[in-house]
Protein backbone atom coordinates (compact mmCIF):
# COMPACT_ATOMS: atom_id res chain seq x y z
CA UNK A 1 0.00 0.00 0.00
CA UNK A 2 2.87 2.34 0.74
CA UNK A 3 4.95 1.41 -2.31
CA UNK A 4 6.19 4.28 -4.42
CA UNK A 5 5.38 6.91 -1.89
CA UNK A 6 8.12 6.54 0.70
CA UNK A 7 9.15 10.09 -0.09
CA UNK A 8 5.87 11.38 1.25
CA UNK A 9 5.19 11.91 4.95
CA UNK A 10 2.31 10.09 6.53
CA UNK A 11 -0.72 12.22 6.14
CA UNK A 12 -2.87 10.84 8.92
CA UNK A 13 -1.86 11.63 12.42
CA UNK A 14 -2.80 8.52 14.44
CA UNK A 15 -3.52 9.20 18.11
CA UNK A 16 -2.76 5.54 18.92
CA UNK A 17 -1.14 2.45 17.39
CA UNK A 18 -4.12 0.26 18.32
CA UNK A 19 -7.79 0.71 17.57
CA UNK A 20 -10.11 -1.68 19.41
CA UNK A 21 -13.35 -1.96 17.48
CA UNK A 22 -16.22 -3.24 19.60
CA UNK A 23 -19.67 -4.48 18.79
CA UNK A 24 -22.04 -5.39 21.58
CA UNK A 25 -25.32 -7.24 21.35
CA UNK A 26 -27.87 -6.74 24.09
CA UNK A 27 -31.31 -7.97 25.02
CA UNK A 28 -34.07 -5.53 25.90
CA UNK A 29 -36.79 -5.70 28.53
CA UNK A 30 -40.25 -6.98 27.67
CA UNK A 31 -42.75 -4.42 28.98
CA UNK A 32 -45.17 -6.91 30.59
CA UNK A 33 -42.51 -9.00 32.31
CA UNK A 34 -41.49 -7.56 35.65
CA UNK A 35 -37.73 -7.39 36.03
CA UNK A 36 -35.46 -6.70 38.99
CA UNK A 37 -34.20 -3.45 37.50
CA UNK A 38 -35.73 -0.22 36.22
CA UNK A 39 -35.42 -0.37 32.41
CA UNK A 40 -34.48 3.32 32.44
CA UNK A 41 -31.34 2.37 34.36
CA UNK A 42 -30.62 -0.66 32.20
CA UNK A 43 -32.16 -0.16 28.74
CA UNK A 44 -30.31 -3.22 27.44
CA UNK A 45 -28.45 -6.12 29.03
CA UNK A 46 -25.31 -7.16 27.14
CA UNK A 47 -25.35 -10.77 25.93
CA UNK A 48 -22.37 -10.71 23.59
CA UNK A 49 -19.09 -8.80 23.26
CA UNK A 50 -17.30 -8.91 19.94
CA UNK A 51 -14.12 -7.00 19.09
CA UNK A 52 -11.15 -6.79 16.73
CA UNK A 53 -7.93 -4.80 16.94
CA UNK A 54 -6.63 -2.72 14.08
CA UNK A 55 -2.90 -2.09 14.53
CA UNK A 56 -1.20 0.73 12.67
CA UNK A 57 2.50 1.23 12.07
CA UNK A 58 4.78 2.54 9.29
CA UNK A 59 4.32 -0.68 7.29
CA UNK A 60 0.55 -0.35 7.19
CA UNK A 61 -2.43 -1.75 9.04
CA UNK A 62 -3.23 -5.17 10.42
CA UNK A 63 -6.52 -6.58 11.63
CA UNK A 64 -6.42 -9.10 14.51
CA UNK A 65 -8.46 -12.26 14.93
CA UNK A 66 -11.78 -11.45 16.57
CA UNK A 67 -12.42 -11.56 20.30
CA UNK A 68 -15.80 -13.05 21.06
CA UNK A 69 -17.61 -13.94 24.26
CA UNK A 70 -21.21 -14.81 25.16
CA UNK A 71 -22.77 -13.50 28.34
CA UNK A 72 -25.58 -15.05 30.36
CA UNK A 73 -28.05 -12.27 31.24
CA UNK A 74 -29.55 -12.07 34.74
CA UNK A 75 -32.29 -9.45 34.21
CA UNK A 76 -33.69 -9.83 30.72
CA UNK A 77 -33.62 -13.60 30.40
CA UNK A 78 -36.47 -13.85 27.89
CA UNK A 79 -35.54 -12.86 24.37
CA UNK A 80 -37.26 -9.65 23.22
CA UNK A 81 -38.88 -10.32 19.82
CA UNK A 82 -37.62 -7.09 18.26
CA UNK A 83 -34.07 -7.97 19.27
CA UNK A 84 -34.29 -11.58 18.17
CA UNK A 85 -35.46 -10.49 14.72
CA UNK A 86 -32.17 -8.61 14.31
CA UNK A 87 -29.65 -10.88 15.99
CA UNK A 88 -31.24 -14.26 15.41
CA UNK A 89 -31.24 -15.71 18.93
CA UNK A 90 -33.90 -17.37 21.04
CA UNK A 91 -34.42 -17.41 24.80
CA UNK A 92 -32.68 -20.76 25.31
CA UNK A 93 -29.51 -19.24 23.80
CA UNK A 94 -29.41 -16.90 26.80
CA UNK A 95 -28.82 -19.71 29.31
CA UNK A 96 -25.19 -20.07 28.32
CA UNK A 97 -22.15 -17.88 28.64
CA UNK A 98 -20.00 -16.08 31.20
CA UNK A 99 -21.14 -13.58 33.79
CA UNK A 100 -20.90 -10.00 32.57
CA UNK A 101 -17.99 -9.22 34.92
CA UNK A 102 -15.94 -12.26 33.86
CA UNK A 103 -16.58 -11.47 30.21
CA UNK A 104 -15.72 -7.79 30.61
CA UNK A 105 -12.49 -8.57 32.46
CA UNK A 106 -11.45 -11.02 29.75
CA UNK A 107 -12.17 -8.34 27.19
CA UNK A 108 -10.12 -5.68 29.03
CA UNK A 109 -7.17 -8.11 29.33
CA UNK A 110 -7.38 -8.80 25.60
CA UNK A 111 -7.40 -5.05 24.81
CA UNK A 112 -3.93 -4.38 26.23
CA UNK A 113 -2.69 -1.03 27.49
CA UNK A 114 -2.82 1.70 24.91
CA UNK A 115 -5.77 1.89 22.56
CA UNK A 116 -8.67 3.95 21.29
CA UNK A 117 -12.14 2.35 21.42
CA UNK A 118 -14.13 2.39 18.20
CA UNK A 119 -17.69 1.46 17.38
CA UNK A 120 -20.38 1.91 14.78
CA UNK A 121 -22.40 4.81 16.22
CA UNK A 122 -22.25 5.50 19.92
CA UNK A 123 -25.09 3.37 21.30
CA UNK A 124 -22.70 0.56 22.33
CA UNK A 125 -20.89 2.96 24.65
CA UNK A 126 -23.95 4.07 26.59
CA UNK A 127 -25.14 0.45 26.93
CA UNK A 128 -21.68 -0.60 28.15
CA UNK A 129 -21.69 2.17 30.76
CA UNK A 130 -25.21 1.25 31.92
CA UNK A 131 -24.15 -2.41 32.32
CA UNK A 132 -21.01 -1.45 34.27
CA UNK A 133 -23.06 0.75 36.60
CA UNK A 134 -25.64 -2.00 37.10
CA UNK A 135 -22.85 -4.38 38.17
CA UNK A 136 -21.48 -1.75 40.61
CA UNK A 137 -18.41 -1.11 38.49
CA UNK A 138 -17.00 2.27 37.56
CA UNK A 139 -18.44 3.42 34.26
CA UNK A 140 -15.27 5.37 33.47
CA UNK A 141 -13.61 3.85 30.43
CA UNK A 142 -10.36 5.85 30.49
CA UNK A 143 -10.07 5.77 26.69
CA UNK A 144 -11.01 7.98 23.83
CA UNK A 145 -13.75 6.84 21.50
CA UNK A 146 -13.88 7.00 17.72
CA UNK A 147 -17.27 6.65 16.05
CA UNK A 148 -16.54 4.87 12.74
CA UNK A 149 -20.07 5.57 11.46
CA UNK A 150 -19.51 9.33 11.63
CA UNK A 151 -16.02 9.00 10.12
CA UNK A 152 -17.46 6.93 7.26
CA UNK A 153 -20.11 9.57 6.51
CA UNK A 154 -17.43 12.25 6.41
CA UNK A 155 -14.61 10.48 4.58
CA UNK A 156 -16.39 8.13 2.18
CA UNK A 157 -19.62 9.94 1.44
CA UNK A 158 -19.10 13.49 2.71
CA UNK A 159 -22.74 13.39 3.78
CA UNK A 160 -24.60 14.00 6.95
CA UNK A 161 -26.43 10.67 7.13
CA UNK A 162 -26.42 7.58 9.32
CA UNK A 163 -25.67 4.34 7.49
CA UNK A 164 -25.66 0.69 8.49
CA UNK A 165 -22.50 -1.42 8.66
CA UNK A 166 -23.78 -3.43 5.72
CA UNK A 167 -24.34 -0.30 3.64
CA UNK A 168 -20.74 0.83 4.31
CA UNK A 169 -19.38 -2.63 3.46
CA UNK A 170 -21.17 -2.52 0.09
CA UNK A 171 -20.21 1.10 -0.54
CA UNK A 172 -16.51 0.38 0.04
CA UNK A 173 -16.69 -2.91 -1.91
CA UNK A 174 -15.49 -4.99 1.02
CA UNK A 175 -16.04 -8.70 0.25
CA UNK A 176 -18.92 -10.20 2.26
CA UNK A 177 -18.25 -13.64 3.64
CA UNK A 178 -20.08 -13.87 6.94
CA UNK A 179 -23.43 -13.08 8.43
CA UNK A 180 -24.06 -9.68 9.91
CA UNK A 181 -25.41 -9.07 13.42
CA UNK A 182 -23.18 -11.48 15.22
CA UNK A 183 -21.10 -9.36 17.53
CA UNK A 184 -17.64 -10.43 16.40
CA UNK A 185 -18.63 -10.39 12.71
CA UNK A 186 -19.97 -6.84 12.92
CA UNK A 187 -16.85 -5.77 14.80
CA UNK A 188 -14.73 -7.38 12.08
CA UNK A 189 -16.65 -5.62 9.31
CA UNK A 190 -16.37 -2.31 11.16
CA UNK A 191 -12.60 -2.93 11.49
CA UNK A 192 -12.38 -3.53 7.74
CA UNK A 193 -14.34 -0.33 7.12
CA UNK A 194 -11.95 1.64 9.35
CA UNK A 195 -8.95 0.09 7.57
CA UNK A 196 -10.40 1.12 4.22
CA UNK A 197 -11.09 4.66 5.47
CA UNK A 198 -7.44 4.99 6.58
CA UNK A 199 -6.44 3.77 3.14
CA UNK A 200 -8.62 6.42 1.47
CA UNK A 201 -7.18 9.11 3.75
CA UNK A 202 -3.59 8.03 3.08
CA UNK A 203 -4.01 7.94 -0.67
CA UNK A 204 -6.75 10.35 -1.71
CA UNK A 205 -6.78 13.17 0.79
CA UNK A 206 -4.64 16.10 -0.27
CA UNK A 207 -4.27 17.56 3.21
CA UNK A 208 -3.14 16.26 6.57
CA UNK A 209 -6.09 14.60 8.24
CA UNK A 210 -6.54 15.32 11.92
CA UNK A 211 -8.16 12.16 13.19
CA UNK A 212 -8.15 13.46 16.76
CA UNK A 213 -10.93 15.85 15.76
CA UNK A 214 -13.16 12.79 15.61
CA UNK A 215 -12.21 11.50 19.04
CA UNK A 216 -14.44 11.88 22.03
CA UNK A 217 -13.78 11.32 25.71
CA UNK A 218 -16.73 9.15 26.85
CA UNK A 219 -15.94 9.86 30.51
CA UNK A 220 -16.54 13.58 30.14
CA UNK A 221 -20.18 14.43 30.46
CA UNK A 222 -20.01 18.14 30.83
CA UNK A 223 -22.49 20.88 30.28
CA UNK A 224 -22.98 24.41 31.48
CA UNK A 225 -26.43 25.77 32.05
CA UNK A 226 -27.61 29.29 32.78
CA UNK A 227 -30.70 31.46 32.69
CA UNK A 228 -30.76 34.82 30.97
CA UNK A 229 -32.23 37.98 32.52
CA UNK A 230 -35.78 38.91 31.60
CA UNK A 231 -36.05 40.36 28.10
CA UNK A 232 -38.65 42.40 26.23
CA UNK A 233 -39.28 39.72 23.65
CA UNK A 234 -37.99 36.38 22.48
CA UNK A 235 -36.19 37.95 19.56
CA UNK A 236 -34.54 40.41 21.95
CA UNK A 237 -33.57 37.43 24.14
CA UNK A 238 -32.01 35.68 21.12
CA UNK A 239 -30.22 38.80 19.86
CA UNK A 240 -28.49 39.15 23.21
CA UNK A 241 -27.68 35.46 23.77
CA UNK A 242 -26.54 34.76 20.23
CA UNK A 243 -24.00 37.59 20.26
CA UNK A 244 -22.35 36.62 23.56
CA UNK A 245 -18.97 34.86 23.36
CA UNK A 246 -19.22 31.14 24.23
CA UNK A 247 -16.74 29.25 26.41
CA UNK A 248 -16.08 25.50 26.66
CA UNK A 249 -18.09 23.91 29.49
CA UNK A 250 -15.13 21.59 30.28
CA UNK A 251 -12.15 23.98 30.30
CA UNK A 252 -13.50 27.52 29.97
CA UNK A 253 -11.52 28.31 26.80
CA UNK A 254 -13.15 30.53 24.18
CA UNK A 255 -14.92 28.43 21.55
CA UNK A 256 -14.66 28.70 17.80
CA UNK A 257 -18.00 28.91 15.99
CA UNK A 258 -18.76 26.01 13.62
CA UNK A 259 -22.41 26.72 13.02
CA UNK A 260 -23.68 30.13 14.07
CA UNK A 261 -26.73 30.33 16.35
CA UNK A 262 -30.06 30.05 14.58
CA UNK A 263 -33.59 29.96 15.94
CA UNK A 264 -36.50 27.69 15.11
CA UNK A 265 -39.69 28.59 16.99
CA UNK A 266 -38.85 28.56 20.71
CA UNK A 267 -35.40 26.93 20.37
CA UNK A 268 -31.95 28.15 19.40
CA UNK A 269 -29.16 25.88 18.15
CA UNK A 270 -25.42 26.25 17.49
CA UNK A 271 -22.20 24.26 17.18
CA UNK A 272 -18.80 25.27 18.50
CA UNK A 273 -15.37 23.69 18.73
CA UNK A 274 -12.86 23.67 21.59
CA UNK A 275 -9.23 22.91 20.64
CA UNK A 276 -9.02 20.36 23.46
CA UNK A 277 -12.53 18.97 23.79
CA UNK A 278 -13.78 19.13 20.19
CA UNK A 279 -17.49 19.64 19.61
CA UNK A 280 -19.79 21.68 21.82
CA UNK A 281 -23.49 22.06 21.08
CA UNK A 282 -25.39 25.17 22.12
CA UNK A 283 -29.08 25.06 22.89
CA UNK A 284 -31.39 27.89 23.87
CA UNK A 285 -34.93 27.33 25.11
CA UNK A 286 -37.16 30.38 25.14
CA UNK A 287 -39.54 30.58 28.11
CA UNK A 288 -42.21 32.73 29.67
CA UNK A 289 -42.90 32.94 33.39
CA UNK A 290 -46.34 33.22 35.03
CA UNK A 291 -46.30 37.03 34.67
CA UNK A 292 -45.58 36.73 30.97
CA UNK A 293 -41.95 37.81 31.31
CA UNK A 294 -39.64 36.34 28.73
CA UNK A 295 -36.27 34.67 29.35
CA UNK A 296 -34.18 31.80 28.04
CA UNK A 297 -32.19 28.87 29.35
CA UNK A 298 -28.84 28.44 27.64
CA UNK A 299 -27.04 25.08 27.66
CA UNK A 300 -23.57 24.38 26.24
CA UNK A 301 -22.74 20.70 26.15
CA UNK A 302 -19.81 18.54 24.98
CA UNK A 303 -21.08 16.20 22.29
CA UNK A 304 -19.75 13.34 20.22
CA UNK A 305 -19.22 14.03 16.50
CA UNK A 306 -22.23 11.86 15.62
CA UNK A 307 -24.48 14.01 17.78
CA UNK A 308 -23.93 16.98 15.46
CA UNK A 309 -26.12 15.35 12.81
CA UNK A 310 -29.55 16.29 14.25
CA UNK A 311 -28.33 19.88 14.72
CA UNK A 312 -27.21 20.04 11.08
CA UNK A 313 -30.64 18.70 10.11
CA UNK A 314 -32.36 21.46 12.10
CA UNK A 315 -30.08 23.95 10.33
CA UNK A 316 -31.17 22.63 6.93
CA UNK A 317 -34.77 23.05 8.11
CA UNK A 318 -33.94 26.62 9.17
CA UNK A 319 -32.39 27.43 5.79
CA UNK A 320 -35.61 26.35 4.05
CA UNK A 321 -38.33 27.48 6.45
CA UNK A 322 -36.64 30.14 8.58
CA UNK A 323 -37.52 30.85 12.19
CA UNK A 324 -41.03 29.40 11.92
CA UNK A 325 -39.57 25.99 11.05
CA UNK A 326 -41.06 23.23 8.96
CA UNK A 327 -44.87 23.39 9.15
CA UNK A 328 -46.17 20.79 11.59
CA UNK A 329 -47.89 17.74 10.09
CA UNK A 330 -51.48 18.88 10.78
CA UNK A 331 -50.73 22.15 8.97
CA UNK A 332 -49.40 20.26 5.96
CA UNK A 333 -52.56 18.10 5.88
CA UNK A 334 -54.73 21.21 6.10
CA UNK A 335 -52.80 22.85 3.31
CA UNK A 336 -53.12 19.72 1.17
CA UNK A 337 -56.89 19.64 1.81
CA UNK A 338 -57.20 23.23 0.66
CA UNK A 339 -55.47 22.55 -2.62
CA UNK A 340 -57.65 19.57 -3.57
CA UNK A 341 -60.92 21.11 -2.39
CA UNK A 342 -62.27 23.18 -5.29
CA UNK A 343 -64.38 25.35 -2.98
CA UNK A 344 -61.30 26.40 -1.07
CA UNK A 345 -59.45 26.97 -4.31
CA UNK A 346 -61.88 29.75 -5.14
- Output phi, psi for 200, to 5 deg: -60, -45
Which member of 184, 192, 277, 315 binds Zn ion (CB under 5 A)? 277
Binding segment (CB under 5 A) for Zn ion, from list 43-51, 250-258, 260-268, 333-341:
250-258
CB 134 within 8 A of CB 42: yes
Binding segment (CB under 5 A) for Zn ion, from list 27-35, 208-216, 244-252, 318-326:
244-252
Nearest to 310 by CA among 274, 279, 278: 279
Which member of 86, 200, 251, 334 binds Zn ion (CB under 5 A)? 251
* Segment 295-298 long-range contacts (CB within 8 Å, at least 24 positions apart): 295/227, 295/228, 295/229, 295/230, 295/231, 295/237, 296/227, 296/228, 296/231, 296/234, 296/237, 296/238, 296/241, 296/268, 297/225, 297/226, 297/227, 297/228, 298/225, 298/226, 298/227, 298/228, 298/241
CA separation for the pair 281, 301 (Å, rounded): 5
- Output phi, psi for 54, to 5 deg: -110, 115
Binding segment (CB under 5 A) for Zn ion, from list 76-84, 228-236, 274-282, 324-332:
274-282
Does 302 contact Zn ion by CB under 5 A?
Answer: no
Binding segment (CB under 5 A) for Zn ion, from list 10-18, 53-61, 69-77, 276-284:
276-284
Of 274 and 296, CB closest to Zn ion: 274
Does 248 contact Zn ion by CB under 5 A?
Answer: yes
Of 298 and 302, CB closest to Zn ion: 302
Of 106 and 247, CB closest to Zn ion: 247
Which member of 276, 323, 324, 331 binds Zn ion (CB under 5 A)? 276
CA separation for the pair 198, 61 (Å, rounded): 9
Of 86 and 251, CB closest to Zn ion: 251
Please state whether beta strands 256-264 and 267-274 pair in parallel, antiparallel, or not at all (unpaired): antiparallel
Which member of 250, 271, 284, 300 binds Zn ion (CB under 5 A)? 250
Q: What residues contact 96, with CB distance under 8 A and at least 6 apart?
A: 70, 72
HSE of 230 in the Cβ direction (CA atoms, 13 Å)?
Answer: 8
CA separation for the pair 19, 28 (Å, rounded): 28
As measured in angstroms, the least distance from the Cβ of 222 to Zn ion is 9
Binding segment (CB under 5 A) for Zn ion, from list 112-120, 149-157, 183-191, 270-278:
270-278
Of 199 and 219, CB closest to Zn ion: 219
Of 56 and 250, CB closest to Zn ion: 250
Of 124 and 217, CB closest to Zn ion: 217
Q: Which residues bind Zn ion (CB under 5 A)?
A: 248, 250-251, 274, 276-277
Amino acid sequence: MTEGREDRDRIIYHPTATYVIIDLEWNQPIPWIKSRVDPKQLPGEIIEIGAVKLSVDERGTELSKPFHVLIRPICYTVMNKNVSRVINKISSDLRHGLTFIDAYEAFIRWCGDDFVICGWGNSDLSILKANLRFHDRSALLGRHFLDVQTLFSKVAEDKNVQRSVEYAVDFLRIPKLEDFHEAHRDAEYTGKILEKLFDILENDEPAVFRLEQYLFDPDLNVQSERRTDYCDSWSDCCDRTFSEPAVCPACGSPLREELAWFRIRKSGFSLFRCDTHNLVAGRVRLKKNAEGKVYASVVLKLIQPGEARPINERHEEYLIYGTSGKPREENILLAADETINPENAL
